[in-house]
Structure 1
């Protein structure tokens, strides 16, 4: 199986399917490269080279006890692009993975990157601060984290339906819900805690405003994990010249429940026909 060593020696697993223009997928918290199967299969068959990797602490990558801040995660992404010497890349990210892409651009530049797609982003800043008064109170995040740590399998199973917004009619089989929960459990307890804190508490407002590559932002208006009014819409106001799509009734698991529509939007954006 293919692995590469990151900047600090952490061994990271990746998949590499197809040939053509490269598209690199960056998963959100708890999920690994396997979560992108509904994008990588059709897109690799449509003439794109699709690459995804397991974040440190996730899936088949090493599970170190450190390095879950955006600097290290962005450096991991940079190490992958360097290892495969990818250029003209479309970066497609979900949830807090969007922050990894934004930090990558501010830390490593955009020489290798043609465009980015940010799906259900937790950026630009979710937590409440003196200059972000509409954010969610830190104490609330801490309480949720403490509850989740007591019984992570039960917490994930309990919150899975909200993740997919099934109460609004989004169709997903019980087997696929269970599969997604299992993917979320396939990361270390340290990683599960730290990456959420990184995604919630890191201020990416200034870096988002400095993005200079074409950007597509996709967010569901029923997202319980990254509320659209706090995340997607605000990010769309910051990133210069972006294309913004808001899906009615879509939750955070938009890459599964709305895979066909999302894939077409991404493909159109790559082809330069999307608006």
Structure 2
């Protein structure tokens, strides 16, 4: 396994981020969602490097095979970890692709580190701009929604993950966009996360306001969201992104759930390839 050192924890232990680095050419860095690991990008890692791209994916602290730290479950720290990845591998002109919680890392990195080494950013089913309901964010979800998630995690994390996975991929009584084997694969991946990170990162992606971070983004920006996303509804996330990044391209995948990196893998791969190479992404719409 390959690891990148991202500083030390409060006890002086090295924080190691598990990563994979495949292909040659234009660098694309993939940032996974909660509570998975970089392995969720299976179909992207199998395809994107075939097209003159160097594709790097890493697992954030607390998840997968990365260090299970007790602290550091905040976006400033996670953005610094992303910086360690880009600096250690000396990547330049990077296309950053953040899925769900990973979209927050993209936003915070661009403001906290001035977008160093980055030429394009893509937000896929992302939690940006701000999920929590507040007086100035009335369309967000109430805090009780996230409290119930944490309650479920603490009561029976494995049962919570099983139910979460079905909603994640839009599985219902009639709808079965992924196989039972895929659900099992996803649950096993998410079970590798530490209980601490699984819990604390809920509050990180729920309560972090990225609106000012997004205002600092000046590079080409792609926003992709599924219209049937019940995990991070497009109405409070993807559809609002151009309010804060006016030049962003918004693409809605009709009928797609949250986990569109699997259910819409061919289209997503095409769009990432087109965007990263400076081409046109079909279906782009400016809603504002």
Length-normalised TM-score, structure 2? 0.92
Counterpart pick for 1:42 among 38, 44, 47: 47
2:183 paired with 1:164: no
Distance 1:158 1:56 in 2: 24
Stretch moving more, 50-59 or 230-239: 230-239
- Compute the displacement of 1:124 (Å): 0.8
Q: Which consecutive aligned stretches of 4+ in structure 1 deviate over 6 angstroms post-superposition?
A: none
Secondary structure of the residue that 2:7 maps to in structure 1? coil
Distance 2:212 2:181 in 1: 41
Deviations 1:98-155 (A, max 9, x none): 0001100101112300101110011111111111122111122112210222111111
2:95 paired with 1:117: no
Secondary structure of the residue that 1:11 maps to in structure 2? strand
2:216 paired with 1:197: no
Deviations 1:10-53 (A, max 9, x none): 11111001111110110111111111111011111222101011
Q: Which residue of 1 aligns with 2:284?
A: none
Stretch moving more, 70-79 or 189-198: 189-198
Deviations 1:45-73 (A, max 9, x none): 22210101111011111101000100000
Deviations 1:55-96 (A, max 9, x none): 101111110100010000000000010000000101111001
Deviations 1:233-259 (A, max 9, x none): 112321131111011111110101100
Describe how 1:90-109 pairs up with structure 2 within 5 A.
Answer: 90-109=95-114
Counterpart pick for 2:248 among 242, 248, 253: 242
Distance 2:39 2:84 in 1: 20
Which residues of structure 2 form unaligned runs of 5+?
9-13, 282-288
Which residues of structure 1 form unaligned runs of 5+?
none
RMSD: 1.3
Length-normalised TM-score, structure 1? 0.97
- Any conservation in 2 of the 1:98–1:118 contact (CA below 8 Å)? yes
Distance 2:165 2:65 in 1: 23
Structure 1 residues 59, 6: CA separation in 2 closer, same or farther (over 3 Å shift)? same
Distance 1:29 1:55 in 2: 9
- Any conservation in 1 of the 2:19–2:56 contact (CA below 8 Å)? yes
